[in-house]
Amino acid sequence: MYLNCHSFHSLRYGTIPLTDLVQQAVACQVKVLALTDINTVTGIYDFIQACQQVEIKPLIGMEFRDKQQLRYIGLAKNAQGLAAMNRFLTAHNFNGEPLPFVAPELEGVYIIYPLENVPIDLKSNEYIGIRPEQLSLLVDKKWQVLQHKMVVLQPVTFRTKKEFNLHKILRAIDTNVLLSKLTESDYCATTDFMIDQETLLSQYTPFPDILANTEHIINSCHFEFEFKKPKNKKFYTNNRQSDMALLTRLAHQGLITRYGANHPQAKARVEKELKVIDELQFSGYFLITWDIIRYSNSCGFLHIGRGSGANSIVSYCLGITDICPIELDLYFERFLNLNRKTPPDFDIDWSWKERDTILHYIFDRYGAEHVAFCGTNVEFKYRSIFREVGKVFGLPKEELDLLAKNPMAMHDSNSVVKYVQEYGMLLEKYPNQRSMHACGILISEEPLTNYTVLEMPPKGFPIVLFDMHIAEEIGFEKFDILSQRGIGHIDDSVKLIAKNRGIKVDIRNTALSKDEAICNTFLARGQTIGCFYIESPAMRGLLRRLNCDNYKTLVAASSIIRPGVAQSGMMKEYIFRHNYPDRFEYFHEVFKEQLGETYGIMVYQEDVIKIALYYGGLPAADGDILRRAMSGKGRSKSALQKVKDNFFACCAEKGHPQQLSEEIYRQIESFAGYSFCKAHSASYAVESYQSLYLKVHYPIEFMVAVINNQGGFYRTEVYVHEARMSGATIQNPCVNLSEYETTLYGVDVYLGLMHLEGLETKIAQFIVKERIQNGVFHSLEDFINRIPIGIEGIQILIFIGAFRFTGKSKNQLLVIARLILVNFKPENKHPTLMQEPIKEYQLPVLERSPFEDAFDEIELLSFPVSCTPFDLLQTLYRGNIMAKDLIYQHKKTVKMLAYLISRKHVPTKRGAMFFGTWIDAEGTYFDTAHFSDSLEKYPFQGGGCYLLLGTVEVDYHFPTITISKMAKMPFVADPRYDHAQKRPYDVQQNIKEDVSMTHRAPYPQESGLPRHRM
């Protein structure tokens, strides 16, 4: 009899998680339950499954509200009814019109109006919902005559008094008012909770028509849904046979292109894969992916195919991926096998500049009704919770900032803060708003509105109202269409090389950039800044520890850097075994046979499947459950527990020692959510090598491309430094030579106008456009006459030296600008045929300190260009050792002067620590470790130069300094200001640092892997 229940998917309204709602229904002996969340069907599929498990009949519907006002409730008689409601609400989501007070004709839908919104005429499928507290109104003849159209209406929104308070807090957050300012119309009635079904029905006993109508609706609703039936677009052509014929032809053509006409091993694998693809009916999925790649290639776009799909030789032959599965002995069964009914997985990356073109093609090619992004629930998170809840309690911004930034132990202990904490913690993991999945696209056979309402976020592409997990559960295979800046680096580099040097680099030819001797030298030394995936301090340190000088080692490194492998102690052990391959034993023959390439250590996801199959003797389907749980995609804890129990039982049957089996399962569990499949690592390794090849052979063009794609792990300054170290001459922005982005002329790198802090984007772009259309600027006066800019913008350009072509000093230019722009307003400017020249004045020559330009640059760019940060120090001391010599200083104490590049926060059981990355006065990078006891006395104090004292630890070819003391070193006073004031030291604060914070609990103490046979 509960026809109007809200879960927490009624965003910022409902307070009950879905499973809790169903369990409450069981406790109240409810046999039929309707989920009618507000303007959404997000939870219906999880709800159906939860109800079926406890033998409750699920009814599916929606509560239609316009802003705060309840219009009506819709209940689907069948799948057609759900589709009708979805189409109706989708249309309103797209056109933005308010929902009508009267429901339209919706086939297969029962409509229930609240007593406050009953239309004059009721259709045959329309009823009036009457709440228990409204039954007394039936003495009125106005309502008596409508009893034959009434049903039981007992809304459910909360469970307890505390949850009612939580509901009001959610309503205050949603309406953006103080809790005390809420009105009764803003929140639900105090009676909107579930009671025992018998108690509810007893209140309606005097009104048998109402009970009969309610029973009629319940008995007439039969929503049946096939969860595992594939919902994707079935065929690329017209049918399965023609799809397979096309796929087979394309695969054989690609086989010859990739391997030549005579390669029996490749041919046999292609035939094997085609047979599995046909049996699992995934030919359409392959062909649609191929079609997207074909369009991309026709546009001249560079793409990277990765994910488990890169295990497939068919995808390699189709050009979807560039990873040869034979070369790397990739495990096709990780991607597709006859025991695996879950869909395959392609992740395709494009440059962030080109992805939207690909998306528009997909939506146009396959139809707006059939294509949408997966949705995702943005949950209330720790920081946002206290800010949101504190705001409705009326706390000021300063206090909200403290609550959001500090751990609970550091919060004030007053009563209001206690309420904020209490109710805030209740909201943890509750959905707060719906958003678009970063990359997952659904392409359906039937219109998507058969399954869900669609919304149109600001990005301009529709989204479904469920996430990727539900999409997979109900039979959708998503297409992952991603973007990344690393591809932009590569793509723009190739274009720059062609423009600047006249050399055409075929970067798609992966043989060009794989295992090249000079590139391998850079790789082993960790000289990889700017290169996708291998530029972070942690990755560069790993490359040096491994002395990584070949492609296959890089593939392994791409996976062992992942948190799961690192956390378990497997990374540490891999480094040891790689460096000392004769100082360990495989602790079981299976590990030598199956994981010999990685020294018996599980590094990739498929390693788990191999060990489950060949050591544990589990069936392939169970191995895949382990793999999915490990990759973060498994949702069923009970299924995982069943596999775990079966693993130990099978191991015992095979006679394996219990201690060994426990150690192996510990290693499997430690992977959870944080490891790559081998093909994924290989895809990253190929892209990393492509970047490295360009960095090694065309370093200046490559660094300009990195800068223009807004960098990677580090800030722009670091990539400018790399360009300078590669032989570039760095030039400040110039109105005649700079573009909006950074520009390259030979070895002269002109920083783009986009980097000037304070200069409006539209002005920066207009300068370039005007110069292209009407020629270079001949003088400051000419520039002012052609560009609609005020004195503030002119000053920025003068101070950065953008008018240096005039031959006048900055001081002279400032005087001229003020003379021209006195009483000047850009909007009043009218161009004239004959421009009257300004009166020439004899300007005095003013002395300038050589440091003035550097401080101008720090103020406008956040880093100096005309000199290095070391040149600005008050001291001439540069330390007693340079970074290049650290490798020879193991266990020695050193004193160094260094410029801070980045620091990485790491929580440990002893307190927070940081890893630092620095450059010395020669421009060479080195790394430091700062433990909590040192940080307490000698903390970081922002960007700049520091004097460091510490002990060198050389760990497998990689030196790190454990810092005992450090002090930030002062710059010279800013010569542009009077030394008596504080201002000479203000601009130094503009010097930046890259800070990475880690919000997780400390990792457990690493367990060493056995190095002897067990």
Per-residue pLDDT tens over the stretch 649-701: 999 999 999 999 998 888 777 765 566 788 888 888 989 999 999 999 999 99
Q: Which residue has the tokens 């079904």?
A: 197
Contact between 217 and 111 under an 8 Å Cβ cutoff? The reply is: no
- pLDDT of 821 > 50? The answer is yes
Q: What is the pLDDT of residues 451-460, one digit of tens each?
A: 999 999 888 8
Average pLDDT over residues 894-917: 93
| Measured distance CA(575)–CA(245) in Å, rounded | 47
Per-residue pLDDT, 165: 95
Alpha-carbon distances, residue 139 vs 64, 127, 136, 191, 210 (angstroms): 29, 19, 6, 22, 15
**What does the pLDDT average to over 916-945?**
96
How many Cβ atoms from other residues are within 10 Å of residue 654's Cβ? 11
pLDDT score, position 977: 82
Distance of CA 791 to the CA centre of its chain: 41
* Contact yes or no for 374/468 (Cβ under 8 A): yes
Q: What is the pLDDT of residue 437?
A: 85
Question: What pLDDT, on a 0 to 100 scale, did the predictor assign at position 451?
Answer: 97
Q: Is the CB of residue 899 less than 8 Å from the CB of residue 924?
A: no
Question: pLDDT tens across 229-242, in order?
Answer: 889 999 999 899 99
Whether 834 shows a pLDDT value over 50: the answer reads no
Query: Model confidence over 244-292: pLDDT tens digits?
Result: 999 999 999 999 999 999 999 999 999 999 998 998 888 999 999 999 9
Predicted local confidence at residue 612, as pLDDT: 85
- Residue 759: which residues within 8 A CB-CB, separation 6 or more? 753, 793, 796, 797
Whole-number mean pLDDT of the chain?
90
- In this predicted structure, the answer to whether residue 609 has a pLDDT above a threshold of 60 is yes
What is the rounded CA–CA span in Å between residue 245 and residue 923?
59
Q: Is the pLDDT of residue 832 over 60?
A: no
Q: Compute the Cα dihedral for 671, 629, 605, 549 and give only its sign.
A: negative
Residues in the chain, how many?
1014
In the prediction, which pLDDT does 611 show?
Answer: 87
Give the whole-angstrom CA distance, residue 158 versus residue 8. Answer: 9
Q: Which two tokens stand for residue 401?
A: 């900032």
Q: Is a pLDDT exceeding 60 seen at residue 415?
A: yes
Please give the span between the terminal C-alpha atoms of the chain, in angstroms, as a whole number.
62
Distance CA 642, CA 405 (A): 41
- What is the rounded CA–CA span in Å between residue 524 and residue 995? 26
The residue written with tokens 């926060």 in the block is: 905
DSSP label at 655? T
pLDDT in the model for residue 677: 80
Cα 706 from chain centroid (whole Å): 20
Report how far residue 734's alpha carbon sits from residue 747's, in angstroms, rounded to the nearest whole number: 16
- Rounded to whole angstroms, the Cα distance separating 103 from 116 reads 14
Mean pLDDT score, 549-555: 92
- Residue-level pLDDT at 1008: 67
Listed residue (548, 377, 382, 381) closest to 466, CA to CA: 377
Q: In this predicted model, what pLDDT tens digit does every residue of 532-546 receive, in sequence order?
A: 999 999 999 999 999
Question: Which DSSP string do the residues of 489-553 spell out, in sequence order?
Answer: HHHHHHHHHHHHH-----TT-GGGGSS-HHHHHHHHTT--TTSTTS-SHHHHHHHHHHT--SHHH
| Cβ neighbour number for residue 289 with a 10 Å cutoff | 23
Ordered DSSP codes for 216-283: HHHHH------SSS--B---SSSSHHHHHHHHHHHHHHHHHHHH-S--HHHHHHHHHHHHHHHHTT-H
DSSP state at residue 878: -
In this predicted structure, the answer to whether residue 636 has a pLDDT above a threshold of 60 is: no
> Given pLDDT bands bounded at 50, 70 and 90, which one contains residue 629?
low
